Structure 1
């Protein structure tokens, strides 16, 4: 089997072959930290966390770079007299890190801040000017889009059909589509947001930041460039143009994750449906949030509703109850992982990270394990559990793992446990009093809710149907 990824630039699935055997280099555009993370940020970061994990499993070591844009018009606009732009950026950066960590997203190999790579940005700008692809004007520096015939190749647009670039003051532009590489300092902006340069004091444009940082940490050519679908234009189009014009091979594969909608509408502050990460993590178990966000294909548009989290909680409970049930039958002694994976799981993940199909394999293995336990075939159930642990571990959703211990007994889980336990106690009293119709009614009511009761020598245990 061969791992294939959808390359946005090629607009097709391509066999993934790293530039260096056994090693993968990946750059993903991180957040602009003018405000806190929302659900879309979590979904994007999680998509590449899962991709990173699968690449490690299938290929080898992954050098994963995710930047922080800590200097930007939006950061400066959101600063206040009581909180400077750099203090705001650092506080928001911490909020992103905390939210990512809460749902089990691992830190990248390197997480550079834009403000730490200003010299590298200036060096790249100088190369573009020397090559005739950029020009200085009135304190700003612009990329000359008409000097680069391939401009538009990522999104397959013709230049004249594009909207003009609005990322900088147009005072010195030769063409309305030219975009800013360096922004001259303006009156009213803090001195701390300005750096000396050969073209005058100022700060970098947004697009040049990622070109310079990816080159600094991964070299002039690397395997995968990732980010949200909304970054394809103008951000990634401009990155590609300026890096290629400077002579760098740049990214070999372009991978983009889909966006998040809420009740069928694009998440937007103007629509009032902007879902902040802190609100979601306050309302739901972090593992439930991770499952809900990872369950859809990474390139699809993900519509989040209340049922998304209810379905995720139920799916996780099915996994958990099977593993707990098997541990009870085994006395807890089966804590190893599989050295192999089901072929269908590997095929799904190799097919452009097909997590929905991979989850179907995982849940089918749970059902097979429960069936084996029902037949008292503990060896077969153990084999199923080992594979469930391994598959769930790769996706970061094993509810019995050390990572999630203590996070799985949220308010909803506690409430369900209390209700079911109360019904089990009522049924036990009915059976003790030989009130068999009452005992049967309770069992039927519980079964109608999708819950199975298992009577054993050490009491009655319950689980959600697999």
Structure 2
């Protein structure tokens, strides 16, 4: 599936440092391990109500990482899925009298427009789940054959205990959660820990057998549709070499989604899915986490159609460190608009010689766990004296932060 238009990225002289990131599984700041091409897989949207500020915050975090890896001299292969068949999408379609396919395509197109407006570098592989059902169902059949998948009635589940015995994966190594917390999050985030017949309450669904009125595909394990976690596991391995450089998403994907995607991949391939797991903080609004289920959403398209400069919206998000949780207010946008005006007001003639000191400082600051707030502060300090920004400085602000002045 097509993604969106690639923004022009200025080439800067030399190369920046390899970024360090906070790796969720280890809990430590880690310099990325890259052999050849850097590979990034970021979990995409379920396209039934896109794109809110929380989405934009996550994809901007990994856009920053993508830009820094390119600036460090690496080729990058970036993949992102769309979960274009899932319970929330089907429920929204039924509630609004829409065909689920039309709703998914409509919202995916809206997402494309929003990402392009925000100058997000598009993924090299933009993959709807429905285009890869055959490969996903074949992987489920493989897990059943090797004993890490089993049936409860006609549905297929992942056997956590069997997978831990036969693959390099241990439940809890990624999330560091206790069993009680895992059970609560499983029930909250799409799992069914209370279902009778499961070998372990946490065993996740691999394949949902055909139900009346639901979309279904033929497969080696019977008609139906895939579970959530197996989708990303298979898609990542189809288009990228594993282990990945980075598997990313928002913090609410740490468990169960990323935990079980890693388990499925290890069971299928015998290899870890990723060298590093990186997660963006969650954005709140009106005292709660911004989420579709709560309905407390601030939509990117509403702001853009209301006249907001997409560069200001990007700056409002970059003003927060990607790992922090924070709450969106009108003041975020007001501060960003004032910052954009200040940066734009300085001249464009190269009075500041080459501008290399600022470029070097930006590279070093951003490579330290994607510290965008500190990078913005460096530029604020640079423009405070009113002297003009050199062409190199402007190119760096564009290439590294996605703000074209």
Same fold (TM over 0.5): yes
Q: Could you list the per-position Cα deviations for residues 427-449 of structure 1 after superposition, in whole angstroms to 9, with x for gaps in the alignment?
A: xxxxxxxxxxxxxxxxxxxxxxx
Give the Cα separation in 2 of the matches to 1:297 and 1:49: 14
RMSD (CA atoms): 2.4
Q: For 1:250-329, what aligned pairs fall within 5 Å after superposition?
A: 250-268=273-291, 273-283=296-306, 284-322=308-346, 325-327=347-349
Task: After TM superposition, give the deviation of residue 277 of structure 1 in Å.
Answer: 2.0
State the match for 1:389 in structure 2: 394
Q: Contact 2:33 / 2:275 at 8 angstroms: preserved in 1?
A: no
Partner of 2:371: 354
TM-score scaled by length of structure 2 = 0.86
Matched, 1:74 2:88: yes
- SS, match of residue 176 in structure 2: coil
- Describe how 1:162-181 pairs up with structure 2 within 5 A: 162-163=182-183, 165-166=186-187, 167=190, 170=195, 172-181=197-206
Call closer, same or farther: CA 1:338–1:385 in 2, change over 3 Å. Answer: closer
| 2-structure distance, mates of 1:344, 1:184 | 55
TM-score computed with the length of structure 1 as normaliser:
0.75
What is the CA distance between 1:194 and its match in structure 2? 0.6
Q: Distance in 2 between matches of 1:171 and 1:46?
A: 41
In the alignment, which residue of structure 2 is the partner of 1:343?
Answer: 360
Give secondary structure in 2 for the equivalent of 1:162: helix
| Further displaced range: 3-12 or 239-248 | 239-248
Q: Is the 8 A contact 1:320 1:399 kept in 2?
A: no
Q: How far, CA to CA, are the matches of 1:59 and 1:116 in structure 2? A: 33
The match for 2:30 is 14
Deviation at 1:35, TM superposition (A): 1.9
Q: Sort the Cα spacing of 1:390 and 1:263 in 2 relative to 1 into closer, same or farther, 3 A.
A: farther
Change in Cα spacing, 1:200 to 1:10, as seen in structure 2 (3 Å) is: same
Partner of 1:128: 143
Distance in 1, Cα, partners of 2:198 & 2:144: 14
Distance 1:216 1:337, change over 3 A: farther
Q: How many residues align?
A: 376
Structure 1 residues 48-57 or 272-281, which shifts more?
A: 272-281
Give the CA deviation at 1:86. Answer: 1.1
Q: Which residue matches 2:208?
A: 183
Larger helix fraction of residues: 1
Once the 2 structures are TM-superposed, how far is the Cα of residue 314 of structure 1 from its aligned partner?
0.9
Counterpart-to-counterpart distance in 2, 1:114 and 1:178: 22
Unaligned segments of structure 2, at least 5 residues: 1-16, 165-169
- Structure 1 distance, partners of 2:82, 2:337, is 32
Q: Distance in 1 between matches of 2:404 and 2:143?
A: 51
How far apart, CA to CA, are the structure 2 residues paired with 1:286 and 1:326?
A: 21
Corresponding residue of 2:125: 110
Cα distance change on mapping 1:76 and 1:273 into 2, 3 Å: closer
| Alignment CA distance shift 1:307-1:277 (3 Å) | same
Structure 1: gaps spanning 5 or more residues: 374-380, 401-466
Deviations 1:212-271 (A, max 9, x none): 000000033221101001111111111111111221321111111111112554224676
Structure of larger gyration radius? 1
Matches for 1:17-166 after TM superposition, within 5 Å: 17-20=33-36, 23-80=37-94, 83-149=98-164, 150-159=170-179, 162-163=182-183, 165-166=186-187
Q: 4+ residue runs of structure 1 moved beyond 4 angstroms? A: 268-272, 336-341
Find the counterpart in structure 2 of residue 439 from structure 1: none
Are 1:140 and 1:172, in contact at CA under 8 Å, matched by a contact in 2?
no
Which whole-Å deviations, capped at 9, do the CAs of 1:255-290 have from their partners, x for residues lacking one?
Answer: 111111125542246766321222222332211111
Query: What is the CA distance between 1:122 and its match in structure 2?
Result: 1.8
Shift of 1:155: 0.5
